[in-house]
Amino acid sequence: MNDNIVFGQYIYKNSFIHKLDPRIKLFVLLILMIGTFLVPADNFILLSIALMIPLIAVIFSKISIFKYLKSLKQIVFVIFLSFIFQLFGNEGGKVYNIPINFSYANLILAVLLIVIFFLFRKYLPFKMLIFIGLVVLIIYLLRFPLIGDPFKETSIHIYEKGLIHGTFLIERILIIILASTTLTLTTKPTDLTNALEWYLAPLEKIKIKTSIFAMMISIALRFIPTLFNETNKILKAQASRGVDFNEGKFIEQIKQIVSLLVPMFVISIKRAEDLADAMEARCYVPGEKRTKLVKMKCKVTDYLVMLFILTLFILLILIRCGVIYAL
Amino acid sequence: MFVKLENINFKYANNEDLILNDLSFELPKGCMLAILGPNGSGKSTIAKLIMGLLKPTSGHIYIGDEELTEKSVNHLRKKLSIIFQNPDNQFVGVTVKDDIAFGLENLKVERSKMQEAVNQYAQMVDMSEYLDANPENLSGGQKQRVAIAGALAMQTDLIIFDEATSMLDPKGTKEIIEMIKTLKNSHQKTIITITHNLEEALFADKVMVLNQGKIVLEGTPREVLKEKTILEASGLKLIDGLFLIDRINNSALEESQKKVLTDKLWELTFKM
Ligand SMILES: Nc1ncnc2c1ncn2[C@@H]1O[C@H](COP(=O)(O)OP(=O)(O)O)[C@@H](O)[C@H]1O
Ligand SMILES: [Mg+2]
């Protein structure tokens, strides 16, 4: 039974990371985010210490590394682009020359490789990574004119500073992505909502009804899967009536999408009305104080984790302010 | 009297039609009332009026001895609960135990008592194994049972079932009807069950037939079931037993035989 998969990415495992209080996990994520931006530029030692934290969490979470790679996969392209920008956007330090010799044989090989990639794209795992690897390979091969003389010779200059900045940026992004993925993989969305509500609770004092927002989030979490199922049902019903969402002229496609959206809207509005009635009938008064079934409770481990993170953070600030010169 | 409606007229804001027309009835504490009527006759509207979810255009509603007004509604609602038709649209919690607790959380029940109540009522509706399940993995009948647990946990005096079985499969329907029967036999709640299925009205103390916003028939199930023409005119599907009774009455049998047969049939009908 997949009762433990609520919504989103949460994967149930009996691990130390799963059992941490969601408030602590949220706190660690926040500190890590601030911390990575406080690390002095190009200080790889400090940043690597920061990277250890999500890495340790990943290992302890008992969740397959592939789940993490999957979430990285979605932003590999963004990471790659920012790396390229950093690489060519910074001048200084040693210069590396990469000779580029355009010969016909090389160009044909490059086109061939890319065509092959696009032909087999469907069957490949980690497409983006492979594509990036391919581009690097093609550029590398341009060093050697394979057959015949090159018709144009040029070179790319890469500066040491660009390389360092680029790598530093990748590491920063990696830390944040790994940490937030660990949070969403190991924490139920409802627990996350509760933690968020807890942090926002002080705002209630200045008459901002944060509990209403928390209720809205939890209702959304409750109904997103239902909405998915409903969309599927409508899609199937329309497919059985011969509607094909991938075919036809543009106007036809628009019509078909409208034919999906209209029932979705009608159903959702009816649902919202029913839900409002059901909640009100069960004595829900928006903004009024409520008790909670689940209690979030910090255990010794939670406090230890918090203490550990805070210590590191304070050390970082001291280094940043120049009080400690060690690193 | 626990529930009392007095000369209720009702119109929706966006609809010119008079949905309820000078409707009055009352229901003593601990009694079970079945409201029958075709689709669109105003049954759900009555339920929402009693729950204070709608406000009558004119007329008065009393719960216990208190009039239901904008001021008293939040406090009177603690005595009332309702199970709606659509199992999905009334499942508020992300899991079964969250949903059972939802009303209790609103009533500001203490956590330890709440946990106890959740376990107790989940067990009562036979959903103890599913406390952490989310609604996507439950059948319609199971979701309705969770809704009932949530309502019972709030320990209200009145519980309304507004076509609570109409979206369920036969198995789910049977489970819910059994549950309503058990509830009735415990004599602890005032019950209103709304349905267009005559069989669900058989074990009520009192039956009321509604058509186009008016009460067209009122009485014990036996009295009401005899009014075949009115029932059919109100678009209700007669139950099989009634057809047989009709046949027997129109046959050439002797009066004494007719009586024995029809009495036996009535008895069987009500045993269902
Ligand atoms: N929100 C609404 N706005 C306008 N008209 C409504 C609304 N809800 C119901 N009605 C109308 O009121 C009448 C009675 O509805 P309802 O009480 O739901 O009937 P029943 O529950 O007996 O099927 C119907 O004719 C319906 O069209
Ligand atoms: Mg209705």
- Ligand 1 pocket member B41 (CB < 6 A): yes
Give me the residue from B82, B98, B132 closest to A293, CB to CB. B98
The predicted pLDDT at position B200 comes to 82
Q: Is the pLDDT of residue A229 over 90?
A: no
pTM of the model as a whole: 0.80
Question: How many angstroms does the Cα of residue B39 sit away from the middle of ligand 2?
Answer: 7
Between positions 176 and 195 of B, the ones with CB within 8 A of A are: none
pLDDT score at A8: 58
Alpha helices in chain A (DSSP H): 16-19, 22-38, 44-60, 65-73, 76-89, 104-120, 127-141, 160-186, 189-200, 210-240, 250-281, 300-320
3-state secondary structure of B166: coil
Please say if the pLDDT value at position A70 is more than 50.
yes
In a domain, B61, yes or no: yes
CA B173 to chain centre: 13
- A11-20, A218-227, A241-250: segment of lowest average pLDDT: A241-250
Q: Would B233 be classed as within a structural domain?
A: no
C-alpha to C-alpha distance for A231 and A302, rounded to whole angstroms: 41
The whole-number pLDDT of residue A1 equals 34
pLDDT tens profile B81-135: 999 999 999 999 989 999 999 999 999 999 999 999 999 999 999 999 999 998 9
C-alpha closest to that of A168 among A88, A83, A77: A83
> Residue A218: is its pLDDT beyond 80?
yes
| Beta carbons of A271 and B53 less than 8 Å apart | no
Give the residue numbers spanning the domain of B95: 3-221
The CATH number linked to B189 is 3.40.50.300
Q: Is B119 exposed, middle or buried (0-12, 13-18, 19+ CB in 10 A)?
A: middle
Distance CA A82, CA B212 (A): 68
Domain contains B37:
yes
8 A C-beta contact, residue A21 and residue A298: yes
How much is the ipTM here? 0.90
Residue B84: list chain A partners with CB under 8 A.
274, 277-278
Higher pLDDT residue, A326 or B191? Answer: B191
Residues A269-294 have pLDDT tens digits of 999 999 999 999 999 999 888 999 98
Q: Name A100's bridge partners.
A: A154
Percent of chain B with pLDDT over 90: 68
Return the percentage of chain B with pLDDT > 70, whole number: 97
CA of B54 to nearest chain A CA: how many angstroms apart?
10
B36 belongs to a structural domain: yes
What domain count does chain B have? 1
**Domain ranges (residues) in chain A:** 1-103+149-186+300-327, 188-296
pLDDT computed for residue A7 by the predictor = 46
Residues of A in contact with B118 (CB under 8 A): 293
Q: Let me know if residue B244 belongs to a domain.
A: no
Q: What pLDDT sits at residue A245?
A: 65
Phi, psi of B67 (to 5 degrees): -80, 140
Ligand 1, pocket-test mutation among B19, B53, B209, most atoms within 8 A of CB: B19
The Å distance, Cα A67 to ligand 2 centre, comes to 46
Residue A2 has pLDDT above 70, yes or no: no
CB–CB contact A279 B51 (8 Å): no
Is B12 a pocket residue for ligand 1 (Cβ < 6 Å)? Answer: yes
- Does residue A74 sit in helix, strand or coil? coil
Q: What is the pLDDT of residues A90-139, one digit of tens each?
A: 888 888 888 888 888 888 888 999 999 988 888 887 787 888 888 888 88
Q: Is the distance from CB of B147 to CB of B91 less than 8 angstroms?
A: yes
Alpha carbon of B11 to ligand 1 centroid (Å): 10
Any B CB within 8 A of A219 CB: yes
